[in-house]
Amino acid sequence: MTVPAFPETKVALKGRKGLIVGIANDQSIAWGCAKAFRALGAELAVTYLNERAKKHVEPLAKELEASIFMPLDVNTEGQTEQVFERIGKEWGQLDFLLHSIAFSPKEALHGRVVDVERDGFLKTMEVSCWSFMRMAHLAEPLMKNGGTLFTMTYYGSQMVVKNYNVMGVAKAALEASVRYIAAELGPKGIRVHAISPGPLATRAASGIPEFDELMDKAQTTAPTRSLVSIDDVGAATAFLALDGAKLITGGVMYIDGGYHIID
Ligand SMILES: NC(=O)c1ccc[n+]([C@@H]2O[C@H](COP(=O)([O-])OP(=O)(O)OC[C@H]3O[C@@H](n4cnc5c(N)ncnc54)[C@H](O)[C@@H]3O)[C@@H](O)[C@H]2O)c1
């Protein structure tokens, strides 16, 4: 029996429009995902954090032929709304959203959870969790034909991972928001996924002490004995945006070589 080549998958996202939030450079997980969406034919909108980040993100947005390129700092009042307003005006619809951002002030992230101050906690939760909830709220009216919402999480939400600290608390809340939003928006054909990659050496990861040890442990312990790449994360994430994945929603998709099943 010959295996079908599924040539149609090469253009499976042709005509679909997606917003990518979280590209900082060519090591960002969001960049790996954006490349995969684009390779399947999707049209993309790309945001950058601020003027300083713009020069790193602009060449990547050009490579993706992004038709919308604009600033988005979720701490800046009104900026998230502006992005969705522009998408509404120019595209009139949105088919998928990738939320791939997180932040915690150093003093909150580097201390024990039991010592975290209110400001540090609220800032961590605002950028790493609430911003996803808000984007889902703003995306809902634009996803007239259904759609897919993605956010990035990590295993430190489920287990105590050394040095992950308050970010683990935020990711647990983020994963819970994925379940609730999936239940709320499911009847409209909107699916919601938390993507949980194994450790990757990105700018955000450089803020976590002893990250190299975490990578070594992942590599030696994961059933596949390998680290994941941003392209691995991109391919699996893009799969979930396909029509063939339309009945998968609300879960945490581990892209970690199976690390999470090992004690
Ligand atoms: N690197 C890892 O090992 C790993 C593993 C699992 C999950 N994640 C998650 O993946 C996501 C992407 O991180 P990454 O590893 O690609 O690092 P990254 O540094 O490339 O991306 C983080 C992004 O967050 C953005 N950001 C931070 N504060 C923001 C704000 N106020 N407004 C808008 N954007 C803001 C940054 O501009 C950057 O683009 C994060 O949610 C992270 O927690 C990372």
Q: Give me the catalytic one of 48, 164, 254, 259.
A: 164
CA of 100 to the centre of ligand 1 (A): 5
Domain boundaries, the chain: 11-255
Evaluate: CB of 127 within 6 angstroms of ligand 1: yes
Cα angle 131, 202, 58 (rounded to 5 degrees) comes to: 70
Evaluate: CB of 64 within 6 angstroms of ligand 1: no
> pLDDT tens-digit profile of 149-197?
999 999 999 999 999 999 999 999 999 999 999 999 999 999 999 999 9
Task: Report the pLDDT value the prediction gives residue 9, as an integer from 0 to 100.
Answer: 72
Please report, rounded to a whole number, the percentage of residues in the chain having pLDDT higher than 90: 95
Query: Is the CATH code 1.20.1250.20 the one for domain 11-255?
Result: no
Active site residue 164: yes
Residue 98 corresponds to which amino acid? Answer: L
* E strands present in the chain: 17-21, 43-48, 68-71, 96-99, 147-152, 190-197, 252-255
In angstroms, what CA-CA distances link 20 with 15, 31, 222, 223? Answer: 16, 8, 29, 31
Of 27, 8, 20, 1, residue with least CA distance to 200 = 27
Task: Report the pLDDT value the prediction gives residue 6, as an integer from 0 to 100.
Answer: 64
Evaluate: CB of 199 within 6 angstroms of ligand 1: yes
d(CA 82, CA 93) in angstroms, rounded, equals: 15
Ligand 1 atom index nearest CA of 75: 31
Q: Tell me if residue 148 falls in helix, strand or coil.
A: strand
CA of 204 to the centre of ligand 1 (A): 5
* E strands present in 120-180: 147-152
Task: Report the pLDDT value the prediction gives residue 4, as an integer from 0 to 100.
Answer: 63
Active site residue 48: no
Of 155, 178, 183, residue with least CA distance to 168 = 155
Task: Report the pLDDT value the prediction gives residue 251, as an integer from 0 to 100.
Answer: 98
Evaluate: CB of 103 within 6 angstroms of ligand 1: yes
Ligand 1 atom index nearest CA of 49: 37
Mean pLDDT of the chain: 96
In angstroms, what CA-CA distances link 157 with 42, 84, 102, 252? Answer: 31, 29, 13, 11
CA of 136 to the centre of ligand 1 (A): 18
pLDDT of 140 strictly over 70: yes
Please report, rounded to a whole number, the percentage of residues in the chain having pLDDT higher than 70: 97
Beta bridge partners of 31: none
Looking from the CA of 143 toward its CB, the CA atoms found within 13 Å total: 23
| CA 94 and chain centroid, separation | 16
Ligand 1 atom index nearest CA of 205: 1
> pLDDT tens-digit profile of 35-85?
999 999 999 999 999 999 999 999 999 999 999 999 999 999 999 999 999
Return the best residue to mutate from 23, 25, 49 for the ligand 1 pocket (most ligand atoms within 8 A of CB).
49
Task: Report the pLDDT value the prediction gives residue 263, as an integer from 0 to 100.
Answer: 85
Evaluate: CB of 156 within 6 angstroms of ligand 1: no
Give the pLDDT band (50/70/90) at residue 5: low
If you search the block for the tokens 């998958």, which residue do you land on?
9
Of 100, 67, 50, residue with least CA distance to 204 = 100
